[in-house]
Amino acid sequence: MTENLAESVESARQLTVVWRSMVLDRDPHADVRDLPGIAVRWADCRFAFWNCVTLTDVGVGAEALGQRLGQAADIMRAKKHPGFLWLFEDLLDGEARSAVDTAAEQAGLQYAFPGTGMAGDLLPIPEPAHSELTFTRVRTEEQVRAYADINSRAYGFPLEDGHDGLAGSALWKNDVYAYLGMRGDVPVACAATVEAEGRLFVVLVATDPQWQRRGYGEAVTRKALYEGARATGLTRAVLHATAAGAPVYPRIGFQPNSPIRFYSLKD
């Protein structure tokens, strides 16, 4: 297995491990299954990121890809709330990559947006600082809701959807190293890390749209990494970047691996 493929396998594995915790935190009876070639991590809540299906086989061919996408779409159709299929391109063989658009179309899936898996042996990092921010660890219900609100605004979700994903979470108050970047008493950015199989996974980084392009997202991500590493002693970190965030993370030390394609059901 090449180094890049190994990191892509790691990236997909981290998704299934971390999302198991996140989804079961949201609903202890959530649909968390590991089927042949498919991992289901579906809270069936209004926060679409907690409704996830991903393909897990390595070297998937075109025929198997079509079958897996059909199965995944059937699982998604059976749910109350919409979510995403996460497809790690590097887990497909060359033939399957060429056929992915057609196979997704035939399965009733539509391309939603791109992402990129990233990882790096980059910890520890210096304690971060930003001249316009202070950092607050998420410990209270008010802070959890503020964290959810920043994500909802950044990703274009109704605020109620974010609350449905995070409000009331003991996991986020106690076990996740979640931080708010504060301008005075106003939360403007957020980032979190969580320990998963000997790595720190970076999750739900966002900046309120009216405060973007000021370095806030990078600063609060560095804070979550710094504190997570300080608490755990871990040296490796993994994340899944959106197109907006992808340019930021190499500045911290992350290197890209697999492109990720996000699909939703056709309208």
pLDDT tens digits, one per residue of 86-128: 999 999 999 999 999 999 999 999 999 999 999 999 999 999 9
Q: What is the pLDDT of residue 267?
A: 84
Question: Is the predicted pLDDT of residue 1 greater than 70, yes or no?
Answer: no
Structure tokens at 111: 């391309």
Total count of domains within the chain? 2
d(CA 224, CA 164): 23
Closest CA to 178 of 186, 211, 169: 169
Domain boundaries, position 44: 3-116+260-265
d(CA 99, CA 76): 21
43 and 102 together in one domain: yes
* CATH number of the domain that residue 179 is part of: 3.40.630.30
Q: Report CA-CA distances (Å) from 49 to 82, 213, 223, 267.
A: 9, 24, 23, 18
66 and 166 together in one domain: no
Distance between the two ends of the chain, CA-based, in angstroms?
A: 38
107 and 162 together in one domain: no
92 and 180 together in one domain: no
- 127 within some domain: no
Q: What is the pLDDT of residue 79?
A: 98
d(CA 30, CA 34): 13
d(CA 245, CA 247): 6
* pLDDT tens-place string over residues 154-187: 999 999 999 999 999 999 999 999 999 999 999 9
- 244 within some domain: no
